[in-house]
Amino acid sequence: MEESRLSEAGAQVLSIAPRAGRRRALAGLAAVGVAAIGSASMQREAYAGPMGFGPHGPGGWHGGMGPMDPATRTKRIDAMVAFMLADVDVSAEQRERIAAIARSAATDMDSNREQHRKLRRESMELFAAPKIDRARLESLRIEQMKLRDSTSRRMLTAMIEGAEVLTPEQRAKLVERRQRRMPPPR
């Protein structure tokens, strides 16, 4: 009888033990969850900028997709060129020539950007229409591809012109820096 009571008590202890272990595990998971949420919110606060859009405002570093006034564009292009050439030993004249090339390319591509927005709006209207106009959507796609090709061609021209301002050693250093920051795909 005494033994049966002990074995019953042992069975009760054993049946309680898994529940207690589960409770501890759940409490531990809850604590980890709270810590993760707290950490994420602290990181968000650390990087939050105006209206919570990140450290550089709406659209991040690039400022979004809206039109930009000429003074702001010039400042951004100059900053981009300074960043790009930071580790390359270039003269002030070279830096200014490359910035001028970049500013010219940006100005040249303004019409493409606006035309692309217009085509995109039109395609969205076509998708919202009661009947899908396949032929018009295909013609819009072809127009968009032509605009992208034109933009790509202008960007390549600007890159070539900028590269011609640099010496072969400066170009090699620039490429090496770029590959260090963004390794080529494998």
Could you tell me the residue ranges of all domains in the chain? 2-52, 66-181
**pLDDT band (50, 70, 90) for residue 16:** low
Give which of 116, 121, 180 is closest to 148, Cα–Cα. 116
170, 89 Cβ separation under 8 angstroms: yes
Q: Kindly give the interhelix angle for 110-128 and 92-108, rounded to the nearest 10 degrees.
A: 40
Where does residue 109 rank: exposed (0-12), middle (13-18), buried (19+ CB within 10 A)? middle
CA 146 to chain centre: 25
Mean pLDDT of 164-169: 94
CA atoms in the 13 A half-sphere facing the CB of 172: 3
* pLDDT one-digit tens code per residue, 77-126: 999 899 888 888 899 999 999 999 999 999 888 888 899 999 999 999 99
CA distance 144 to 79: 30
pLDDT at 178: 82
**pLDDT band (50, 70, 90) for residue 154:** very high
Q: CATH number of the domain at 66-181, out of 1.20.81, 1.20.120, 3.40.50, 2.40.390?
A: 1.20.120
Residue of 125 and 12 predicted with greater confidence: 125
Q: Could you give the angle at the alpha carbon of 105 between the alpha carbons of 168 and 84, nearest 5°? A: 45
Amino acid at 102: A
* pLDDT one-digit tens code per residue, 21-75: 656 655 554 554 444 444 444 444 443 444 344 455 545 545 554 567 888 888 9
